[in-house]
Structure 1
Amino acid sequence: MRWAALRSLFCGGGAALALALLLQGRPVRADIPIDVSSTDSLKSACKEIAAPMMEYYAQNQTEGIPGKLTDTWYVAGAMFMTLIQYWQASGDNQYNSVVSHDLMFQAGRNYDYFDSNYSRWLGNDDQMFWGLAAITASETGFPQVDGKPTWTTLARAVFQMQADRWDMSSCGGGLDWQIHLWQDGHTMRNSISNGGLFQLAARLGHFTKNTTYLEFAEKIWDWSVDSPLIQPQNGWFVADSTEGKNNCSDSGDMQWTYNYGTYLAGCAYMYNETRSEKWLNATTGLLARLEDYFFPKEYGSNVISEVACEKLHTCNRNMLCFKGWTTMWMAYTAILVPQTRETIVPKLQGSATAIGKMCDGSSTLVPETNLCGNRWYQDSFDGIQGLEVQMAALGGITANLMLLTGTTALTIDNNPNAQEHYTDTSDDEATPGALPGITTADRVGSWMLTAIWGLGIAAASWWLIKQ
């Protein structure tokens, strides 16, 4: 079963939320005028889009727990990643206190985004998005939280934990989608988990100048190319997943923007750091495939679309997010690899213009605001509403703002705030340790713990019945 299909099973109610339609007779609202050449216009559009997103965030927190949304955990982490990048590009700090508090709150007792409240059912990709939020905070110089570890420390902790899960039991390596043996998908290697760790490692290496991270990023990339996940020989096709049970001899070939985007950004960071032709070729190859496939000619070739689900309105809440992250990762690429800017800029500008026309929705849940839908290529709101589509639209506009403001957050030599945060000596993991693989003993121990856990539940149930 492919990752996207599996993922939807774990998102109970997500599709219903994503496909909630506005009541008939809604008041007609004007769209958001966007001049892609004007920073003021883009900033204004971002403010209009972010406001209802934050209302949805407040309404959907699980029992008021900061950073925990109903039926999902990672989406809030991805939202914070988006908001941090928006803050850096725009200077709008009105949400910084919420982002700072909630991002740190969800770091957990060990500051690794793997708190026991959620770790029983988390996948590697869930944890990874919080790690990407943390490294984004590092790169942008996002304010630190007094008395807490630095954002870089949190990003390192996620990297180290995931690197330690590198699975040599089959396929010659790879990171599994799910973590625990009782989870469906614990033998599957998927692109977003491996691509996410690849990007995180590349960004840590680029930011800290520690070559150990760069070496591990290259290890993930080389493994991905040797597996069915990345296929340079097939026009840089990126598969969604491959199955460890079959020694990664097959692939799930559903096409999603973020699988391309996460590898693309990682390659861009690697090229910017090394200036190696290997990474330039990978960057341009992945970009060409992404631009050709996900910017359909029928919409003028300059508006991004999640083509696997948008036309049929079958995108679940996860899929609604993908292109927002991808557009920001494309902006990173244009900044880090100037050779790509010529083709990326019109794609991002066309998408931003389309977003402005489509964001003319309204709802009684978030009155007096412009809501954005999912189909950016439509000239008006398509009826899909929620945090996820607002986040995607915010990412799409922020990507253009990043290009116009000439962000330097991605190069620490030109970012004194980021440099200062990195040199914080309280960060006691300056060098990542050895990265042991998962052994047979680890697996046997995990099975034993699972069996003991199950027997404990059975014994407790028997005692309750007897009582």
Structure 2
Amino acid sequence: MFIGHLLRLLWLAPATVLAALEVNLDSPESIRNAASQVAYDLMTFYHGNETGHVPGILPGPPPDGDYYWWQGGALWGTMIDYWHFTGDETYNDVTYEAMQFQVGENWDYAPRNWTLSLGNDDQAFWGMSAMLAAENRFRDPPADRPQWLALAQAVWNEQASPDRRDDTCGGGLRWQIFPSNRGYDYKNTIANGCFFNMGARLARYTQNDTYATWAEETWDWLVGVKYIDQDYNVYDGGHVPFNCTDINPVQYSYNAAVLLLGAAYMYDYTNQSQIWEERVTGLLDGIERLFFQNGTAYEISCEGGICNTDMLSFKGYLHRWVATATQVAPFIRARVMGLLRTSAAAAAAQCTGGANGRMCGFHWTSGVFDDRVGAGQQMNVLAALSTLLINDTDAPVTNTTGGTSRGDPTAGSRGISLPHDEPPTTGDRAGAGVLTAFVLATTIGGAIWIALD
């Protein structure tokens, strides 16, 4: 009897992950069922639909909880994709309520309660989720409420405004919006990568070349400041006092993935131009080289050490954005889907924790649950499973291929200004000299600072 059971396990091994979260990767129905369980467990971390809690956000920010405002936007993008890939409408009402509640007084995803701690990337994560709602034909709000496309345009317009930009480092967005925020003197890839991503997608959706021109210029800026190198390594950023030349060499999967998705949209928008095909291929080469270890998603920046709460959600964006790229750049589909299948198998295999015996951890390559649960870990595995169904779902629509979301090219309050820098004083220059020596001596420390910030 034991031998027979062992033979059965061996026979099932290539297609079935045998764990507390069981899933047959050859069965779409099994994938949907497993994803449904992960989605349920994910939503246990959300309390915004309960009395006394704020709709749209995960518990936080620290010290009141682990999560910052932007991760709410990331959560709803994950849930929109989950619905789109699986057809499960269970969480559509709470997703709709959350996305509408956090639009802010000016309908631009910059609510007054959060503006003093708002980064450009924070706002952009909500804007990208609104863009996703338009592309996936998520339920349109009534006419007197902000529309998904218009919300994405509002975020993009504000970030394109001179109020958010200056000439330091030759252009580009700063990480933070207000000078009082730590990181205001830092221009990084994620803020500019999200802006690039939204521009590429808005260009495709609206057929407006203005967005595409900005996307091209943003890509050129990222290459010009060497945040993207000739081998398609994607680095985190640099500081304004050093003209962004003190590049922080840490690499995060979501930086590369947000650029890959934007490049794939540009490939589609430019009628499969060779230059964007080369960029898509180069970025995918870098992603596979760095962020998939033996075919399994691996966050190289922190898995050998300490991953903060933000980093614990990066694998989900990696899976979602690389998967969606296959719909607008189908020449990468076979390669990507092979990676995503292997990674999803490893992800599900370690979902054996928690009181229900199926909660998911972060270290997928180990094959065992790491005893650390959270919304990010659940989002990661939900994305890993649900994106396996992408070949059976519609590609992102446009306003000429079935899109119904109404836009507003003039949306955006432009209410959050970027103050102009004053000329440096003697003290500033002396301080910069000290800081230069410090940065050169502590490159690794710089990476840790970004991780802990």
TM-score between both structures, scaled by the size of structure 2:
0.82
Contact 2:49 2:55 in 1 (8 A): no
Other-structure match for 2:53: 64
Query: Do the aligned partners of residues 410 and 327 (structure 1) sit closer, same or farther apart at CA in structure 2, a change above 3 Å counting?
Result: farther
Contact 1:61 1:68 in 2 (8 A): no
SS at match of 2:205: helix
Listed one character per residue, the Cα deviations across residues 304-344 of structure 1 (whole Å, up to 9, x for unaligned) are 111221233x1111000011101111111222112212221
- Correspondence 1:381-420 to 2 at 5 A: 381-403=369-391, 405-410=392-397, 413-414=400-401, 416=402, 419-420=403-404
Query: Do the aligned partners of residues 43 and 334 (structure 1) sit closer, same or farther apart at CA in structure 2, a change above 3 Å counting?
Result: same
The answer to whether 1:430 aligns with 2:430 is: no
Query: Do the aligned partners of residues 62 and 116 (structure 1) sit closer, same or farther apart at CA in structure 2, a change above 3 Å counting?
Result: farther
Other-structure match for 2:435: none
Looking at structure 1, the residues matched to 106 and 302 of structure 2 have their Cα atoms a distance apart, in angstroms, of: 38
Identity of aligned residues (%): 35
Other-structure match for 1:142: 138
Shift of 1:63: 5.1
Looking at structure 2, the residues matched to 369 and 57 of structure 1 have their Cα atoms a distance apart, in angstroms, of: 20
Shift of 1:37: 3.0
SS at match of 2:238: strand
Other-structure match for 2:126: 130
- Correspondence 1:159-238 to 2 at 5 A: 159-164=156-161, 165-232=163-230, 235-238=231-234
Shift of 1:38: 2.3
Looking at structure 2, the residues matched to 134 and 244 of structure 1 have their Cα atoms a distance apart, in angstroms, of: 31
Shift of 1:169: 2.8
Looking at structure 1, the residues matched to 51 and 174 of structure 2 have their Cα atoms a distance apart, in angstroms, of: 28
Listed one character per residue, the Cα deviations across residues 269-319 of structure 1 (whole Å, up to 9, x for unaligned) are 0001102211111110011011011112xxxx210111221233x111100
Greater RCO structure (CA 8 Å; 6+ sep): 1
Shift of 1:57: 1.0
Looking at structure 2, the residues matched to 266 and 400 of structure 1 have their Cα atoms a distance apart, in angstroms, of: 20
Looking at structure 1, the residues matched to 50 and 298 of structure 2 have their Cα atoms a distance apart, in angstroms, of: 28
Other-structure match for 1:346: 338
Other-structure match for 1:337: 329
Shift of 1:166: 4.8
Looking at structure 1, the residues matched to 282 and 375 of structure 2 have their Cα atoms a distance apart, in angstroms, of: 32
Contact 1:61 1:67 in 2 (8 A): no
Other-structure match for 1:40: 29
- Correspondence 1:310-329 to 2 at 5 A: 310-312=303-305, 314-329=306-321
Shift of 1:369: 6.1
Contact 1:188 1:242 in 2 (8 A): yes
Q: Quick one: which amino acid aligns to residue 269 of structure 1?
A: Y
Listed one character per residue, the Cα deviations across residues 25-69 of structure 1 (whole Å, up to 9, x for unaligned) are xxxx94222233322121111101010110111289895001123
Other-structure match for 2:442: none
- Correspondence 1:105-116 to 2 at 5 A: 105-116=101-112
Listed one character per residue, the Cα deviations across residues 208-263 of structure 1 (whole Å, up to 9, x for unaligned) are 1111111111111111111121112xx11111111111112220011110010011
Looking at structure 1, the residues matched to 283 and 194 of structure 2 have their Cα atoms a distance apart, in angstroms, of: 15
SS at match of 1:171: helix
Looking at structure 1, the residues matched to 357 and 198 of structure 2 have their Cα atoms a distance apart, in angstroms, of: 35
SS at match of 1:120: helix
Query: Do the aligned partners of residues 212 and 142 (structure 1) sit closer, same or farther apart at CA in structure 2, a change above 3 Å counting?
Result: same
Other-structure match for 1:280: 277
Any gaps of 5 or more consecutive residues in structure 1?
A: 1-28, 445-467
Any gaps of 5 or more consecutive residues in structure 2?
A: 1-17, 62-67, 423-453
Contact 2:346 2:367 in 1 (8 A): yes
Looking at structure 1, the residues matched to 72 and 155 of structure 2 have their Cα atoms a distance apart, in angstroms, of: 16
Other-structure match for 2:253: 257
SS at match of 2:128: helix
Contact 1:228 1:242 in 2 (8 A): no
Q: Quick one: which amino acid aligns to residue 420 of structure 1?
A: T
Shift of 1:413: 4.8
How many residue pairs get aligned? The number is: 393
SS at match of 2:297: coil
Contact 1:34 1:45 in 2 (8 A): yes
Looking at structure 2, the residues matched to 154 and 251 of structure 1 have their Cα atoms a distance apart, in angstroms, of: 33
Looking at structure 2, the residues matched to 238 and 171 of structure 1 have their Cα atoms a distance apart, in angstroms, of: 17
Looking at structure 1, the residues matched to 350 and 75 of structure 2 have their Cα atoms a distance apart, in angstroms, of: 21
Contact 1:210 1:431 in 2 (8 A): no
Counterpart pick for 1:76 among 72, 75, 98: 72
Looking at structure 1, the residues matched to 69 and 48 of structure 2 have their Cα atoms a distance apart, in angstroms, of: 15
SS at match of 1:282: helix
Looking at structure 1, the residues matched to 94 and 418 of structure 2 have their Cα atoms a distance apart, in angstroms, of: 41
The answer to whether 1:303 aligns with 2:296 is: yes
Q: Give the 4+ runs in structure 1 shifted more than 6 A.
A: 59-62
Shift of 1:379: 2.4
Looking at structure 2, the residues matched to 227 and 66 of structure 1 have their Cα atoms a distance apart, in angstroms, of: 39
Other-structure match for 1:378: 366
Listed one character per residue, the Cα deviations across residues 370-423 of structure 1 (whole Å, up to 9, x for unaligned) are 2010011232311010111101111111221213x1432355654x2xx222xx
SS at match of 1:40: helix
Other-structure match for 2:241: 245
TM-score between both structures, scaled by the size of structure 1:
0.80
Looking at structure 2, the residues matched to 181 and 192 of structure 1 have their Cα atoms a distance apart, in angstroms, of: 18
Looking at structure 1, the residues matched to 241 and 27 of structure 2 have their Cα atoms a distance apart, in angstroms, of: 52
Listed one character per residue, the Cα deviations across residues 175-199 of structure 1 (whole Å, up to 9, x for unaligned) are 1001101112112111111101100
Contact 2:24 2:30 in 1 (8 A): yes
Contact 1:34 1:352 in 2 (8 A): no
Query: Do the aligned partners of residues 37 and 207 (structure 1) sit closer, same or farther apart at CA in structure 2, a change above 3 Å counting?
Result: farther
Listed one character per residue, the Cα deviations across residues 51-93 of structure 1 (whole Å, up to 9, x for unaligned) are 0110111289895001123111111110000100111111101
SS at match of 1:189: strand
Q: Quick one: which amino acid aligns to residue 148 of structure 2?
A: W
Other-structure match for 2:98: 102
